[in-house]
Structure 1
Amino acid sequence: MRFTRNVLQLFLIDMKNTAFRVCRQSINPLEKKL
């Protein structure tokens, strides 16, 4: 149980980092236009 919970936490953290990176990449061109 604990093992799967740790894996889930790592997976969620990785998803957050990926989503943050994608948001930054999509926001950067908009900032350059402004």
Structure 2
Amino acid sequence: MKYNGKLKRYLELNNKYIKDADVCLKKWRLCPGI
């Protein structure tokens, strides 16, 4: 499947956000934006 640049960038940012949120939840911390 091919993505245009904008969608691909969005998916990359969203994936990073999910990973960051997961790390924060595992550490039982409040994180900005969650």
1:11 aligns with 2:13: yes
Q: Deviations over 1:1-34 (max 9, x none)?
A: 800100000000000000000000018xxxxxxx
What is the root-mean-square deviation in Å for CA atoms of aligned residues? 1.9
The normalised TM-score by structure 2 is 0.71
The normalised TM-score by structure 1 is 0.71
Q: Which has the higher contact order (CA 8 A, sep 6+)?
A: 2
**Structure 2: 5+ residue stretches without partners:** 30-34
Q: 1:25, 1:7 → 2: CA distance?
A: 27
Q: How many residues align?
A: 27
- Structure 2 counterpart of 1:26: 28
